[in-house]
Amino acid sequence: MNPKLPPSNRHRPNRRQCLAGLSALGLAGLAGQGVPARAAERFPSKPIQLVLPFPPGGSFDPVFRSLAEAASRELGQPVVLMHQPGAGGVAGTANLARIAEGDGYTLAVMHNSVIRAPLVQRVNWDPIKDFTYLGGFFGLVTGVCVARDAPWKSFNELMADAKARPGAISWGNVGAISINRITAERMARGAGASFNMVSFKGGAEAFQALIGRHLDVYADPGFGPQVQGGRARLLAVFLEQRHKSYPDVPTLKELGYPVAIDSPVGLVAPKRLPPEVLQRLHEAFRKAASDPAYLKQLDAFDMLPQLTSPLEYADYARAQFERDQKMLAEIGFKLD
């Protein structure tokens, strides 16, 4: 028979119990101190969806496809482009506003029409409160284009014709509430001219109509391939200064029209995105924005690199919302 242990040794833990106890203590300490950091290290653990709120074939398609591919390499998981067109590029992004809490696995492209949407239509979401802003990545350049064989050789010729034939010349934009359309209408009205404004779902559709002479004028970003390919003629740009790739094309300001458009594009996630996931995503996409293939696509479509932080992009959205609110009031727009 084994002798009984002395009273002092009866409750002494063996080596295995000691190790288990130390392990438990270590995990408890990590649980109290390091879980957010470790959670950020584990993110992402599955593919990420990037919602593009326009149809395939437009200028955003190759630009964001190249950015997504570069970000995939940084994140170690695929970033999958998902086309969700509708409402002039608003519907797809707006769907994220209805998600109660972001987890980083669903992102969307943000642009000014989404910020403006609640001012021109009744919606049940807020562009400032219902998104987490990841950062801005590039600025759009709006150009006024006509077909190669169109009769107008300059913007002044186009405006003179629009004054002589009010409403006879069609002017296309993507979306009925885009800043490009609103600005064009204000400009034409101030000059005593009038165009027949036509909305399209995407740039590819609009350029097909322009080149096929079913549309007279198209004024939106993404004109580079059509102009450089000789299928369209660029008459003017909505910039403060002439575009470096088109030094012979005047700005509207040079021609006496006091208009210029600042239109940054970025990424958003649903609201309440964990800060460590926000930081991980921003850093990955910021690094991806220096990828040569992505920069080549920006240059091809005459878009300008314009990197901003999450805070800067959110601040821009608030300021832009206030500017649009003031602008719509000035032109007498009222929400029905």
The pLDDT of residue 335 is: 76
For tokens 């390499």, the residue is: 73
CA–CA separation, 293 vs 312, rounded Å? 26
Record the tokens describing residue 274, joined without a space: 């964990």
CA–CA separation, 66 vs 293, rounded Å? 6
Secondary structure of the chain in HEC code, one letter for each residue:
CCCCCCHHHCCCCCHHHHHHHHHHHHHHHHHHHCHHHHHHHHCCCCCEEEEECCCCCCCHHHHHHHHHHHHHHHHCCCEEEEECCCCCCCHHHHHHHHCCCCCCCEEEEECHHHHHHHHHCCCCCCCCCCEEEEEEEEECCCEEEEECCCCCCCHHHHHHHHHHCCCCCEEEEECCCCHHHHHHHHHHHHCCCCCEEEEECCHHHHHHHHHCCCCCEEEECCCHHHHHCCCEEEEEECCCCCCCCCCCCCECCCCCCCCCCCCEEEEEEECCCCHHHHHHHHHHHHHHCCCHHHHHHHHHCCCEECCCCHHHHHHHHHHHHHHHHHHHHHCCCCCC
The pLDDT of residue 152 is: 98
The pLDDT of residue 18 is: 40
CA–CA separation, 320 vs 324, rounded Å? 6
pLDDT in tens, 236-257: 999 999 998 999 999 999 999 9
The pLDDT of residue 222 is: 87
- Give this prediction's pTM: 0.78
Record the tokens describing residue 294, joined without a space: 């992505």
The pLDDT of residue 41 is: 60
Q: Which residues of the chain have pLDDT under 70?
A: 1-41, 177, 331, 336
Q: In 3D, which of 271, 203, 275 has the Cα closest to residue 58?
A: 203
131: how many CB neighbours lie within 10 A of its CB?
27
CA–CA separation, 267 vs 261, rounded Å? 20
The pLDDT of residue 19 is: 38
pLDDT in tens, 23-52: 333 333 333 344 444 455 689 999 999 999
The pLDDT of residue 88 is: 81
The pLDDT of residue 27 is: 35
Q: In 3D, which of 2, 109, 94 has the Cα closest to residue 51?
A: 109
